[in-house]
Structure 1
């Protein structure tokens, strides 16, 4: 089907069965060109509204704010936002049963599971009434990608057989290819390359580590991905050498995006590839110092996130474990959405098996089916490639059974290629306030930037 036919089909769906997505996309595209003071005023209004709703309808916030004598009416002065308490993962996990509001019913709720960069499993809820995919569509448009363009993804986007059929029907005539990043092998990458060569998607999106695996595979086989307009990365830092490596492998500009299981999309690069635009019309991102005080632009600190649209499971001032830096200057692209540096301190966590297969980011959700059964976990690959999984179990009677079942699923997934041991521990060490959930004693593979030809400028035009 031609691009014109897909465009007409998307326009029809946006006016009928996906009218909420189409309306939201138009709103988002308008917001990015608002004057900065007006955009900030709208964010302040939305922040005050979600705080009021949380205190009135969420048992957790009603109790928390009540105990501290906090009245959301203080937010009539937006400068007092920083007086609201900051939440951490442990607090949300311990009280997750108290967060939901009466609006968390039926099809208005979508479960979000994460193991997180700290290895501490967490279950939250998204407000399914918010057509959040429109956030991605807006970001894709910055790279010349339209919502109806074919795309290919490498990550946790895989479906079961029936869900895959439903997804294909829902998105027809747009074609979406996927490669499961849980276990990447020569066989799965060969199949993925064949599909991409046949469909020729305009966007290739995936986890940084998984995209590097695919780049290495293409180089070994002397293959290429035909003609993507853009490549998008998430789940790990996009360093300059990694960006250069991927752009050389896929022959397309590579863009960074910031997202998390608790919130979905939060920020993304535009075509200038110089800082991430914060989606400040739907998320409030702050940077605070060790004492929780706002850090000035240019100073690194802890990222604190607020979802301005989630009315079923409010997430207000949540310290998500990442480090970040806000920028003061605006982007020359003309969009008024503020800028931030790429999040600091995230890692490319891929474990390698002797067969050449690799274990990637589904490791973060190893215990997500029963997050209450695991307080913390850490996966350590020894020098002989065997895996040791250290677990601080939860208090439930069935906690250890849930752990054993999840680890057995992992053994099956890797076809028992290496031994996988469980160690139950009382605590795990912290480094810089976080537990590193992936450790490897195998030699690290550092991607190298391609060497430019002689007399080639090193600065991107």
Structure 2
């Protein structure tokens, strides 16, 4: 029986990134409706380093703009105010100290409303200089990667820097950890609004206004959260995120395993009838593996770490079963007693029997797209498939 029903849909094996790479042109539609307009092309490697060719149409571009506008409206932003963006800008136009200055926020909002200005700064700028630039620009809204935002907030706390006009921070592209929200509240008393998207499928979910959970953009994508046996997860359960873009007729990705895990939530108290993601937990490569083969997402207490030592940047990497390497960027090596405190801090947040090796590095670079991961598992996962 090949009828298109939900039982048969679930029999379709989820499509993983490596399979998309190997399939190549076989996934490209031979007949795109002319009403969908011209076809665009991009390449994305995300945080995995595995490049994938992405095709889009004028319809998918329009839907991206529509959901962008929806997010601003949901959050009731004053579009006449100044928006600041800190991200990778490859052509050098957003270099410090001036950054880039534009008259409006962008196509999605600027084509509908008269907006305030947008200013942008290259993310490779030092945190101290980013804060100095923000003090000069005094934006009302700041769009930034979560890891960068945490560094900004901690710098402002440590240096007693105020950004009095800032109302809200907008995060994207990386895992948003709870400590980022906490640091922003302490630093500036502002909230954080998160968006979940990928270049392959577009917007996946937006943070619900007035809450911290996400609402799936079900008019654009179909999202399934499934357990290890492929069964749909119920509220409170964590599973893999499987996404189908509903309007991309140029390169349809059916049941695409985006590589992330999420927790299914209860219906939104706001009354919006959209599927709820209570938490987005990150990628498989961000999961720690213990000696028994158990996997979980670690948290390393950034605020506690900074209370011990002035660490400018850090990343933890699992290099073996029971072994974690703590890579740290500091202005000068720590005293032996401080090193011991740092390692004890990390060990207290790891399963029993783990060892921590401290390694000083000059820099921990972001990906080509500007993303950063504060924990990566560098060992092969049991039963891992490509």
TM-score tier (shorter): 0.5 to 0.7
Q: Which residue does 1:227 correspond to in 2? A: 165
CA contact (8 A) 1:127 1:309 kept: no
CA contact (8 A) 1:155 1:179 kept: yes
CA contact (8 A) 2:41 2:54 kept: yes
- The answer to whether 1:344 aligns with 2:281 is yes
Question: CA–CA distance in 1 between the matches of 2:201 and 2:68?
Answer: 13
Question: CA–CA distance in 1 between the matches of 2:91 and 2:191?
Answer: 28
Q: 1:277 to 1:90 in 2, by over 3 A?
A: same
Question: CA–CA distance in 1 between the matches of 2:364 and 2:180?
Answer: 29
- Per-residue CA distance 1:321-373 (angstroms, 9 max, x = gap): 1111222x3211121112112211355996665569xxxxxxxxxxxxxxxxx
Q: Which residue does 2:52 correspond to in 1? A: 122
The structure 1 residue matched to 2:359, chosen from 377, 383, 388, is 383
Q: 1:176 to 1:355 in 2, by over 3 A?
A: farther
**1:432 Cα offset (Å):** 6.8
Q: Secondary structure at the match of 1:344?
A: strand
As a proportion of its length, which structure holds more helix? 1
Q: Which residue does 1:439 correspond to in 2? A: none
- The answer to whether 1:317 aligns with 2:246 is no
**1:159 Cα offset (Å):** 5.7
Alignment of 1:340-379 (within 5 A): 340-346=277-283, 353-354=329-330
- Per-residue CA distance 1:29-51 (angstroms, 9 max, x = gap): xxxxxxxxxxxxxxxxxxxxxxx
- The answer to whether 1:179 aligns with 2:108 is no
Aligned residues: 301
Q: 1:350 to 1:264 in 2, by over 3 A?
A: farther
Q: Which residue does 1:262 correspond to in 2? A: 200
- The answer to whether 1:100 aligns with 2:28 is yes
CA contact (8 A) 1:280 1:337 kept: yes
**1:300 Cα offset (Å):** 1.3
Q: More relative contact order in 1 or in 2 (CA 8 Å, sep 6+)?
A: 1
As a proportion of its length, which structure holds more strand? 2
Q: 1:222 to 1:261 in 2, by over 3 A?
A: same
Q: Which residue does 2:74 correspond to in 1? A: 142
CA contact (8 A) 2:220 2:247 kept: yes
- Per-residue CA distance 1:250-278 (angstroms, 9 max, x = gap): 32122232122222321122233242111
Alignment of 1:156-167 (within 5 A): 156=88, 160-161=92-93
Q: 1:185 to 1:149 in 2, by over 3 A?
A: closer
Question: CA–CA distance in 1 between the matches of 2:161 and 2:227?
Answer: 47
CA contact (8 A) 2:224 2:241 kept: yes
Q: Which residue does 1:293 correspond to in 2? A: 231
**1:83 Cα offset (Å):** 2.1
- The answer to whether 1:271 aligns with 2:209 is yes
Question: CA–CA distance in 2 between the matches of 1:165 and 1:104?
Answer: 38
Q: Secondary structure at the match of 1:343?
A: strand
Question: CA–CA distance in 1 between the matches of 2:196 and 2:260?
Answer: 11
Question: CA–CA distance in 2 between the matches of 1:116 and 1:384?
Answer: 26
Give 5+ residue unaligned stretches, structure 2: 95-99, 287-298, 300-312, 316-327, 333-356, 371-377
CA contact (8 A) 1:227 1:252 kept: no
Q: 1:236 to 1:336 in 2, by over 3 A?
A: same
Give 5+ residue unaligned stretches, structure 1: 1-69, 357-380, 390-406, 414-427, 436-461
Question: CA–CA distance in 2 between the matches of 1:434 and 1:137?
Answer: 39
**1:136 Cα offset (Å):** 2.0
Most deviating of 238-247 and 177-186 = 177-186
Q: Secondary structure at the match of 1:242?
A: helix
Q: Which residue does 1:7 correspond to in 2? A: none
Q: Which residue does 1:113 correspond to in 2? A: 43
